[in-house]
Amino acid sequence: MEQALKPQAPSAQKFSIDVEAIRARAREHLDDGAVTEDYGADREAVLKMLNEALATELVCVLRYKRHYFMARGIHADPVAAEFAEHAAQEQQHADQIAQRIVQLGGAPDFSPAGMLDRSHSQYVEADTLESMIKENLVAERIAIDSYRAMIRYLADKDPTTRRMLEEILAVEEEHADDMSDLLQRG
């Protein structure tokens, strides 16, 4: 009689960690703050990338703020309210990114000089409610593609930054959906 084959349990790897070595490295590299020897990404590349994301968020804040104040017309109030909400959320993103830059031992670049060059999105004033919505949708789509590229680059090399960017990406996708909905209603 043939015996039923039983699935073999995968050989369990035992978890072990050299606590003494970790303690020694922690004391040896105090100036590196949160960045430990196991940090897998190119820190300078990540800092550059994050400063570009910071500039992008700040440009978005400024564009949304302008559109909030300049929105006119019969349907302007709910659209302006959406612009104001998005501006506040983009500011939160900028703050998160700046904080992460500092955690990685960098300096957030808030300088207005060159901000548009560092930003992935553009600052377009627009003169009608519809053109404002379209410009914000374009900017959100740029941010979505930019954040996806950053997330792919980071992969498992910097999971903390990757998770932060994934959370920001989700909000940017929501913003794009909001702008798209406003265009459909108009």
**pLDDT for 6:** 54
Q: How confident is the model at residue 52 (pLDDT cuts 50, 70, 90)?
A: very high
CA 123 – CA 125 distance, rounded (Å): 6
Mean pLDDT of 174-182: 97
Structural contact between residues 39 and 158, judged by C-beta atoms closer than 8 angstroms: yes
Structural tokens at position 179:
């702008």
Q: Is 105 left (phi over 0), alpha (psi -120 to 50) or beta?
A: left
Structural contact between residues 31 and 43, judged by C-beta atoms closer than 8 angstroms: no
Structural contact between residues 158 and 50, judged by C-beta atoms closer than 8 angstroms: no
For tokens 């903390």, the residue is 160
CA 69 – CA 76 distance, rounded (Å): 10
CA 53 – CA 154 distance, rounded (Å): 14
User: What long-range pairs does 30-33 form, CB within 8 A, spacing at least 24?
Assistant: 32/105, 33/103, 33/105
State the chain's mean pLDDT as an integer: 92
Structural contact between residues 144 and 172, judged by C-beta atoms closer than 8 angstroms: yes
CA 6 – CA 16 distance, rounded (Å): 29
* Predicted TM-score (pTM) of this structure: 0.86
Element (H, E) at 123: none
For residue 164, give the nearest of 119, 107, 87, 97 by alpha carbon: 97
pLDDT at 1 over 50: no
Q: How confident is the model at residue 63 (pLDDT cuts 50, 70, 90)?
A: very high
Residue count of the chain, please give it: 186
**pLDDT for 10:** 58
